[in-house]
Structure formats: C-alpha cells, structure tokens
Amino acid sequence: MTKKVRNFSYMLLIVMVLLSACAGGQATTVAPVEESTEAPVEESTEAPAVQEPVTIEWWTVSSEEYTEQVQRDLAAAFESTHPNIKVNVTVLPEGGFSEKMTTALGAGEGVPDVAFFWDNNWFPEALDLRPFIERDNFDTSMYIPGFWKTRALWNDTVVGLPLGVGAQFVMYNKDVFDEMGVTYPSEDWTTEEYLTKVAQLNDPDQKRWGSDRPRRPFRALWFNYGPDVRLYSDDSMIVDGYLNSPGSIAAYIWAWDLVDTGATPTPADIEVLGTEGTGPIDLFMAGRLAMATLNQGHMLNALNAGVNFGIVPEPGVAGNERFVNAWSLTSSIWKGTEHPDEAWTFLSWWVGPEGQRYLMENGNLFPSINSVLNEYEDADEEYAQAFFKVLELTQVSEWRNAHPCNSTVLRAVGDVWDKIMFGEIERDQIQAELDAIVPAAQESLDECRERLGG
C-alpha cells in the first residue's frame, strides 16, 4: 500500500469513530417560536371621563334657628362628602316662600327638588319616602314620636322628615316670684293654680302683670280640659255637644276668670305695646310680666339676657291628659323631581343626625332626634330638661292635622272669644253664647267638608 493510500485510510477511520460517538445521544428538536403578525395594541393616553355631578334645587328660608350663611355652609359640608351631588341653595324670605311654592306646585314646574312643605295642602305633591326608607333601612324611630306622627305621616304615606322642634310653654320669672313670696309652679299645676298665682303676682305700682292671656281657644290649655273639648266630632260631622260641651264651657269660663283678675294686659295694652315694638318676651325680660306663654326662641333670648327663669307646661286639669302646642318643619321631596335618589341622599343627610347636629352647633336649632338633642351643650341644665319634657306631651297637631276644617270653624266662633277678651259678656252668659253660635259653626263645618270632598 502506498503512503498516500494509507494516510487516506487513517482519516476515514477517524471520521467513522466520531460519527459513531455522536449517534449515541438523542437529538432534541425545538419548535421555532412563531412571531405574531398582529399589530400591537396601543395603550390609551386619554384620562377616563369624569362624571358630572347631579344638581338638585333646595329652597329654604333664613330664621333665628339657621341663618342663610349657616345653611349655605351646611350645603357645602354635604357636597364635600358627596362629590356626585351639587346643591343649589335658594334662600327666600319667609313671607314669600308660601306664595312661591303654591304657585310652582300649582303650575307643576319650577318646583325645587327639596324644600319645606309646611302647608298641609302641599302634601299631595310630596314624594312618598317609604320606598327609600325601606331600601336604606333608614331608622325613623330616631325622631321624637310626636313630631314624626304630626310632621312626617300623612294618610298612609311618609311625606317628609321633621326638621327641628318648637313648642309653647309657660316661662316664669323666678326673681319676681321670690320678690312676691309666691311658690314656683310645678309641671303638673292646674288652671285654678294659674289663676291664683296670676292674682298674687300682679303689682300695678310696679306696672307689672301676673301673666299674659292665651292667644285663642282650642289650643293646648283647652284640650287639657278633656276629650270632649274639640270644635266638632272626630268624624267631622257634628258641632253640637263639642263646641258647647261641659269641658269647653269650663275652658271658656276659665278664660273669663283670667280676664276678670285684672292681672293681664288688655287687648288695648297689647296693641299699644305692639306698636312700640314690645311683645310678651320683651315685657317678660323687663320684669313686667311675671309669667308668659312663650317658646324656645324666647327661652334662648331670656337666657342670653341673664333672666332668672323656669319653665313648666301650660296648666291642666287634674286627672286629664296634658297637651302641647308644638311644631316641626316637614322637609320633603317634590314628587316630580328628576333626581329622586340624589334628593333623598341630601334630605336624609340634612334632616338626619349629621345635618341637624350641624344646625344645632352652628345655629339655634333644637333637633327632632333625641340622640342629637341630648348632645345640646346645656342638655343637663334645668331649663333644657324642662323644655325636653314638654316635647314629650301629646300634640294638639295630632287632632288638627286629621281635621282640616279646624281653622274654618274656629273663625266662625270667634265672636265669643272676642267678647270675653274685651269684657263684653258676663260669666253666666257663656253657655248661652256658645249654644247660640252652634248653627253657624255647623254651617261652616258642612261647607268645609263638602269643599274638601267629604
């Protein structure tokens, strides 16, 4: 074998050995990665759309309890925690509020989403709140029962929520009582005790009267004389036996006896004092009225003036239920609102614990919610406790709200009251006068009932 052939044989042998070594392991095949042919999705660089807040219209009034600024601040406080709702506040003069509401409701347009519905004739235009109350488990038991009954309920519906509370009661000047040596009245005092104290406190030399007079009949003191002391029957059919019932006659005689003491301002006195801008609260704070039937606003005025006073309910009759002239403002949603959910959110905040607490702390509101009322800064003081007790009494409004002809009939029987106030009637003539006016009262009741649809 030649040298060239031998070298070739060696090289061939080496190649075969290498191929044999490689064949001992299994080759792994990796599938090629398929590149996407789709265009990449572009990420949006635009900011998400911001939802515009819903604007609701709120009509209100300015008062001693809450000024215009306090209410605007309240709306701003609500908006700060409810950015999806804007409250457009319209503050109207109290005298023009009723006229504007009546006009708007009559036209069915231009009505605010939320407003005071303080006229019972507006209740049919209020949105029934029961679905919202049930949906949100809204606790209506937080409200003082008497005010919930008289200012929220109408027929079988809930027409609003009661904002704040007010009531009439007798304020007595402790310094005058002490000076005259007269014992303070108790919360269960009677109408006869009232007459006695009025006479004891009267002091012409000091130009001081024992008390003022009731404004008109068939209010709390009248109702205190018994369940038969109403203008007409509970079914709104009969006047005879109610206007001239034994209890009613007794109440009118009590008024005559009060005038006869000579210890109260006459209508002429009141007219002169009214012209001079001096009302019962001013006379009381000046020490010229030892007692006066006033309200919580007057109470705060006397407190700020440093008057030493006490509070008791209006006098009653032993063994009879006690009543109070009390009020609250029905705060409602118009049934034609385009934003019922937002209106309810605001209403339930404004007239709920948050809103009423705000108005108490920044204004002079006494809340209609017991738990918030008890947070009042002077809640433990004697005057506040006495006021709170008055709020628990049965309200005259319970009967009045259920008997819409009350005011009509009362106007028809005004002559008897006027004769007593002006001293134009003798004590023993009262029953005959009441009997004589029954036909006119019955006629006015029948006319009113027919006008209201029976």
| Same-fold call for 54-165+327-381 versus 167-325+397-451 | yes
The reported pLDDT for the residue numbered 274 is 61
Phi, psi of 58 (to 5 degrees): -125, 120
User: Considering the entire predicted model, what is its pTM?
Assistant: 0.86
Angle between helices 68-81 and 340-350 (to 10 degrees): 120
3-state secondary structure of 365: coil
For 311-354, what is each residue's pLDDT tens digit? 999 999 999 999 999 999 999 999 999 999 999 999 999 999 99
Q: Which pLDDT score, from 0 to 100, does residue 421 have?
A: 95
pLDDT at 158 over 50: yes
Residue 371, classed as helix, strand or coil, is helix
pLDDT the model gives residue 442: 98
- Reference 220, options 297, 293, 301, 274; nearest CA is 293
- Structure confidence at residue 30 (pLDDT): 36
User: Is 292 in contact with 211 (CB distance < 8 Å)?
Assistant: yes
Domain boundaries, the chain: 54-165+327-381, 167-325+397-451
- Domain 54-165+327-381 is found in CATH 3.90.650.10: no
pLDDT (tens digit per residue) in 174-191: 999 999 999 999 999 999
Helix (H) or strand (E) holding 55: strand 54-61
Q: What is the mean pLDDT of residues 78-107?
A: 96
User: What is the C-alpha R_g of the chain?
Assistant: 39
For position 361, what pLDDT does the model report? 98
Residue 433: pLDDT over 80: yes
DSSP letter string over 336-363? T-S-HHHHHHHHHHHSSHHHHHHHHHHS
Mean pLDDT of 93-114: 95
Spatial distance between the Cα atoms of 214 and 339, rounded to a whole number of angstroms = 45
The pLDDT tens digits of the residues spanning 251-304 come to: 999 999 999 999 999 888 877 776 666 678 889 999 999 999 999 999 999 999
Task: Please say if the pLDDT value at position 36 is more than 80.
Answer: no
Task: Identify which has the larger pLDDT, 340 or 32.
Answer: 340
Q: What is the pLDDT of residue 275?
A: 60
- What lies within 8 Å, CB to CB, of 74 at 6+ separation is 66, 350, 355, 358, 359, 362
| pLDDT beyond 50 at 114 | yes
- How many Cβ atoms are within 10 Å of 417's Cβ, its own excluded? 17
- Rounded to the nearest integer, the mean pLDDT of the chain is 90
Do 326 and 146 meet the contact criterion of CB atoms below 8 Å apart? yes
Beta strand spans in 93-240 (E): 114-116, 153-154, 157-158, 161-173
Statement: residue 201 has pLDDT above 90: yes
Range scoring the smallest mean pLDDT among 34-38, 215-219, 373-377: 34-38
Q: Measured between alpha carbons, how far is 113 from 338 in angstroms, rounded to an integer?
A: 8
DSSP character at residue 403:
-
The pLDDT of residue 166 is 98
User: What is the model's pLDDT at position 268?
Assistant: 82
Which region among 17-26, 51-60, 80-89, 178-187 has the lowest average model confidence (pLDDT)? 17-26
What is the pLDDT confidence band of residue 153, given thresholds at 50, 70 and 90? very high
Q: What is the mean pLDDT of residues 113-142?
A: 97
CATH fold, domain 167-325+397-451, is: D-Maltodextrin-Binding Protein; domain 2 (3.40.190)
